[in-house]
Structure 1
Amino acid sequence: MFKKFKAATVQTAPVFLDVEKTIAKAIIFIKEASNNGAQLIAFPEVFIAGYPYWNWIMTPVQGSQWYEKLYKAAVKMEDEVMQPLFQAAKDYNIHIVIGLNERGDSFGEIYNTNIIIDNQGKLIGKHRKLVPTWAEKLTWTSGDGSSLKVYDTEVGPLGTLACGENTNTLARFTLLAQGELVHIANYISLPVAPPDYNMAEAIKIRAAAHSFEGKLFTIVSCSTISEEIKEALREDVPNVDEVLTRKNSAFSGFIGPNGAVIGEPLIDEEGIIYADIDLSKCIQPKQMHDILGHYNRFDIFDLRVNTAPTRKITFINDHDEFNKK
């Protein structure tokens, strides 16, 4: 119950729209984290293998060709190209939470998905982003409640949400109610936010809110925008440097059960950082505010969550039903 472990979080850019090279890059970080004693490593949102920035800086018609490129770079868990990632978790005895573009069953369908791999190299869970944020609706299909789960791991009860859905109070409470003590919140750098919006600060506020309310540890991993990404988009967006360059666009770090940042976070810079996690630190803060226990009124409040997977079609044979009568 009172687990102690070292965690790592990564702030970097993928190899844009190249799954194989991005996984190879991830494995370099995984090896480094393991060699430094980490038992858990977090990677950014849709790290495999890129974010649809064109939704924000091009018209939908211009961005359509990029949507096709992204779909071709989307993956399923059983794809051969994914296997080195699972093997790395086993080889380096480390848990991995990483974002990816997941191919759906419908041709052309993409989900924004976080996967959880245990230290035996097994896929133990995945979470599909419930609601794509703003311009992201041009790319991703919405997930459903079946992936709002907390997973029992050797480092503790672990859950994850992607980017803006860490603002969704009911989604966060659903994870807390399942006993979550380690939360992975992953993001992308978003320089195209409104001028008065400090993305790094907003990420920190969301993480602190979840940790303070739930009395748990939040690990934040955010991507960066590489020169390679900007160069790829330059032909369609000549002023890409202007629109995709801005300070305070990325925050990665660790938040404790008291809502305070642990150590020094990464702001905009690429790298990997570590923190020692002691789950027993989640106990004392609950004496004041336990929103899952004494500091709530479940006789007044009733949250119901539909965890059934979405069914796209139901077949009914009316003739057979008639014959049974």
Structure 2
Amino acid sequence: MTSSTKQNNPVRVAAAHVSSEFFDPAGGVKKAIKYLTEAAEAGVELIVFPESFIPGFPIWNALSSPIKGHENFVKFAASSLRVDGPEIKAIASAAAQQKIAVSLGFSEVASYSAGCLWNSMILINAQGIIVNHHRKLVPTFYEKLTWNRGDGAGLSVVDMPFGRVGGLICGENGNPLSRYALMAQGEEIHCANYPPIWPFKDPRDSEPYDLADAIRVRAAAHCFEAKVFSVVSAGFITDENIALLCDDDEARAILEASPRSASMIVTPNGTTLGDTLSDREGLVIADLDISSLVELKQHHDMAGYYNRHDVFHVSINRCRQKPLHDLVSHGANSSVPIANTTLEESLDLINYT
């Protein structure tokens, strides 16, 4: 039985339009818990947080040359989170206490390298369990100075009591194959997260990149094609953030002139539900009728009858990235991989010989 047939009542969702506590994981956790608690008290079942909400988005990469970014990178790496670390556990515990599902954007640091980072998104259910862990497949433009490429392990849709939930990070929401991968798994609620600002060219010299408009177009396109609702959470940037990130007047002027992002909840026909937030922090809250999606698929069902699976073949490599693949021989013609096992498991394999 799919979630759409189980779901008879509207599901209340929230997009958090909030600023990050830059380089301050503890402050980010406190703020996440504050807003997820506020959402739960309003009857929300799923809340979505912005891209790299903890410990902030590395905007400085857009504002100065790479040779000037080392200090910020070191601070950013030190502030990034392990997926099994205490910060994520604290948010998961709060989600369980408040009985609310949480989609969280954060900068993830590898367990095997203090300088290997990913732009990540996790989905935590209302029992406080991480049910999906996605790493952005390709860092965009100057994000490559901070983040590694992700993998396909998190391109998954999770069956939750109120609907089938998937998600993508920022520019991935315009990637046809990534989006199709979620459509093909019966996605019903799409979590999308974005940064607070995206300087692409100097906005004082040319027409600026309109981040809010780009977000709206991407969300509407995916909602219409996939027949889903999108909960879009983008960051908010404060004057204090700008002062912290800009070490000269030129950088500050660029940020102040750049268009801001927007958070919204988008329907399958491209309209928005509730408020659209851009110029202040807060929650965008709306009720979604998941059962309404079935009728729309009689028109176009990209993962079902309105496709040709005999003509097109789409596959996903779900293997996690690993820095080392060791093989331990179990005889002349056999071997067992031991990479990414625990020390005890590795010793068991070695001692087996």
TM-score by length of 2: 0.87
Structure 1 residues 310 and 81, CA gap change in structure 2 (3 angstroms): closer
Picking from 105, 111, 116, the partner of 1:109 is 116
- Per the alignment, residue 341 of structure 2 pairs with none
For the aligned residue pairs, the C-alpha RMSD in angstroms reads: 1.9
Deviations 1:127-162 (A, max 9, x none): 100000000001001111111111111221111111
User: Measured at CA, do residues 319 and 26 of structure 1 come closer, stay the same or move farther in structure 2, by a change above 3 Å?
Assistant: closer
1:214 to 226, 231, 236: 226
The residue correspondences of 1:235-314 to structure 2 (distance < 5 A) are 235=247, 237-246=248-257, 248-314=259-325
Residue 24 of structure 1 is matched in structure 2 by 30
Are the structure 2 counterparts of residues 241 and 125 from structure 1 closer, same or farther at C-alpha, using a change threshold of 3 Å? Answer: same
Q: Conserved in 1, the CA contact under 8 Å of 2:15 and 2:264?
A: yes
Q: Does the 8 Å contact 2:157/2:185 carry over to 1?
A: yes
Alignment of 1:1-325 (within 5 A): 1-2=3-4, 3=7, 4-104=10-110, 105-194=112-201, 195-235=207-247, 237-246=248-257, 248-316=259-327, 321=332
Counterpart secondary structure, 2:77: helix
Give the residue type in structure 1 aligned to 2:16: V
Cα drift, residue 61 of structure 1: 0.9
Distance change >3 Å, CA 318–CA 232, structure 1 → 2: same
**Separation of aligned partners in 2, 1:201 and 1:19:** 30
Query: How much has 1:314 moved relative to structure 2?
Result: 2.6
* Structure 1 residue 78 displacement after superposition: 2.5
Q: Which amino acid aligns with 1:59?
A: S
1:17 Cα deviation after fit: 1.0
Offset of residue 257 of structure 1: 1.8
Deviation at 1:107, TM superposition (A): 2.7
What is the alpha-carbon distance in structure 2 between the residues aligned to residue 313 and residue 191 of structure 1?
Answer: 35
TM-score (norm 1): 0.94
- Tell me the amino acid that sits aligned with residue 234 of structure 1: C
Name which of structure 1's ranges 145-154 and 193-202 shifts more when overlaid on structure 2. 193-202
Paired residue type of 1:199: L
Separation in 2, partners of 1:264, 1:323: 60
Distance (whole Å) between structure 2 residues aligned to residue 140 and residue 224 of structure 1: 21
Change (3 A) 1:248 1:59: closer
